[in-house]
């Protein structure tokens, strides 16, 4: 009987893995995802702008996988029984696998700050975005406090600044740790010019209705957005998978966690020259494609597979409308202003086109 290959999560990593498996391997492919479509997560901040829809950034699995030889299960994974090789679903069903790719991504992680988890709105899923949009739609000039000065926090502040009073709170002394100090200070200047008030080196210590305390300062808010951290889903800790101190699966350099169980995407903490690489869609996609190929090789008993070596081509951050900042050509070229934003839009467009192409190829005539 053909091997049962289960891909858990149809995000950047899961879809890239599926695409490789469809092209390179036989086997019975199943995708399990709790959502109705593939969410283009990096595009979600854009959807917060007035008049923009969230639905545009979710590609329905029904359409994407139409006629592809993939069985789709729309359900939430709540556990894995490693010894029995089964995935447990919220509906109570169990899905058996011979090979499993764990690509469910990360979830917002809230530090133990009183009131934070109950009152702050994360931005990680299409529903999160819809929820924030509902609050933003209540009117112009609201007090929005964004906590976290990484990529998500900076992009959200940039999108909201034209219509609202935006404050950005960050515990460290600078924004955007993924960019060099010069590019990060460009982003700072640009957003300041757009009206964002910065509270750098201000650690959040307390949240209550309509008010936060950060670095001893009291700030009022109508909408509080949490962009301060992500982590692995907590249900992983109830499985038999080996996990590191933060709860991420521990994998070998081919993404293998245990025989027949692989990890890809944000859940795979990848190091390059001793440094943990930032969790990005680009890295997730490359890791997913790689792990898909590894399983295809193992099914064909092709022998040893090369280790994963990602090629990070660039890092681009959208600022206020029409502007951006980042680097391309593997760090060889800094870009800022209109050109950076244009490049980021091109990357988004290319990704959509790539998906259509890749999944088209396997659709029957
Ligand atoms: C606001 C924001 C902006 C970002 N901007 C950028 C950017 O500009 N550039 C960039 O490269 N990266 C960006 N990132 C990071 C990027 O989105 C992630 O690195 C990427 O999405 C990770 O891909 P993944 O496949 O691991 O997970 P995801 O894309 O998160 O996909 C995980 C999938 O698993 C499904 N799933 C999760 N849990 C379960 C479960 N229990 N059961 C069933 N299904 C489940 C989800 O529905 C989802 O479809 C951004 C992230 C955020 C939050």
The predicted-structure confidence for 263-278, as pLDDT tens digits, reads as follows: 999 999 998 888 889 9
- 223 Cα–ligand 1 center, Å: 23
Q: What are the residue ranges spanned by the domains of the chain?
A: 4-106+232-312, 116-226
Q: Is 152 in the pocket of ligand 1 (CB under 6 A)?
A: yes
> And the tokens for 230?
């992500």
- CATH 3.50.50.60 assigned to domain 4-106+232-312? The reply is yes
Q: Which of 104, 113, 150, 115 is nearest to 247 (CA)?
A: 104
| Digit-coded pLDDT (tens) for 175-205 | 998 888 999 999 999 999 999 999 999 999 9
Of ligand 1's listed atoms, the one at least distance from the Cα of 235 is: 41
Of ligand 1's listed atoms, the one at least distance from the Cα of 41 is: 17
Q: Is 228 in the pocket of ligand 1 (CB under 6 A)?
A: no
Within this chain, domains 4-106+232-312 and 116-226 share the same CATH topology: yes
pLDDT beyond 60 at 365 = no
| Digit-coded pLDDT (tens) for 79-123 | 999 999 999 999 999 999 999 999 999 999 999 999 999 999 999
With contact defined as beta carbons under 8 Å apart, do 121 and 132 qualify? Answer: yes
- CATH 3.40.50.720 assigned to domain 116-226? The reply is no
* pLDDT reported for residue 287: 98
Of ligand 1's listed atoms, the one at least distance from the Cα of 44 is: 1
Distance CA 268, CA 63 (A): 28
Q: Is 76 in the pocket of ligand 1 (CB under 6 A)?
A: yes
| Digit-coded pLDDT (tens) for 199-251 | 999 999 999 999 999 999 999 999 999 999 999 999 999 999 999 999 999 99
Global pTM value:
0.96
Nearest CA residue ID for atom 7, ligand 1 = 42
Nearest CA residue ID for atom 51, ligand 1 = 42
Q: Is 32 in the pocket of ligand 1 (CB under 6 A)?
A: yes
């Amino acid at each position: 009987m053909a091997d049962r290959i289960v891909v858990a999560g149809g995000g950047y990593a899961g879809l890239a893995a599926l695409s490789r498996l469809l092209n390179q391997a036989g086997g019975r492919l199943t995708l399990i995802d709790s959502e109705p479509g593939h969410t283009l997560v990096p595009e979600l901040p854009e959807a917060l702008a007035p008049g923009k829809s969230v639905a545009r950034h979710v590609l329905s699995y029904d359409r994407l996988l139409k006629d592809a030889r993939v069985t789709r299960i729309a359900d939430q994974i709540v556990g894995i029984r490693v010894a029995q090789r089964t995935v447990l679903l919220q509906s109570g069903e169990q899905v058996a696998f011979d090979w499993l790719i764990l690509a469910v991504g990360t979830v917002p992680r809230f530090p133990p700050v009183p009131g934070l988890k109950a009152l702050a709105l994360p931005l990680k899923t299409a529903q999160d975005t819809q929820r924030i949009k509902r609050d933003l739609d209540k009117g112009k000039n609201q007090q929005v406090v964004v906590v976290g000065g990484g990529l998500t926090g900076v992009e959200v502040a940039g999108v909201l600044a034209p219509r609202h009073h935006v404050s950005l709170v960050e515990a460290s002394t600078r924004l955007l740790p993924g960019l060099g100090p010069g590019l990060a200070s460009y982003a700072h200047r640009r957003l300041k010019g757009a009206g964002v008030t910065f509270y750098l080196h201000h650690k959040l210590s307390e949240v209550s209705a309509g008010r936060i305390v950060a670095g001893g300062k009291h700030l009022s808010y109508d909408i509080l957005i949490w962009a301060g951290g992500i982590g692995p889903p907590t249900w992983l800790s109830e499985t038999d998978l080996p996990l590191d101190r933060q709860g991420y699966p521990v994998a070998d350099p081919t993404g293998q966690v245990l025989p027949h169980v692989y990890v890809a995407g944000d859940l795979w903490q990848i190091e390059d020259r001793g440094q943990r690489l930032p969790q990005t869609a680009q890295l997730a996609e490359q890791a997913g494609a790689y792990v898909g190929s590894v399983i295809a090789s193992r099914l064909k008993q092709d022998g040893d597979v090369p280790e994963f070596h990602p090629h990070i081509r660039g890092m681009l951050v959208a600022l206020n409308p029409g502007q951006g900042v980042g680097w391309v050509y593997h760090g060889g070229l800094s870009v800022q202003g209109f050109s950076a934003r244009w490049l980021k839009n091109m990357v988004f467009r290319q990704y959509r086109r790539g998906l259509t192409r890749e999944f088209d190829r396997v659709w029957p005539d």
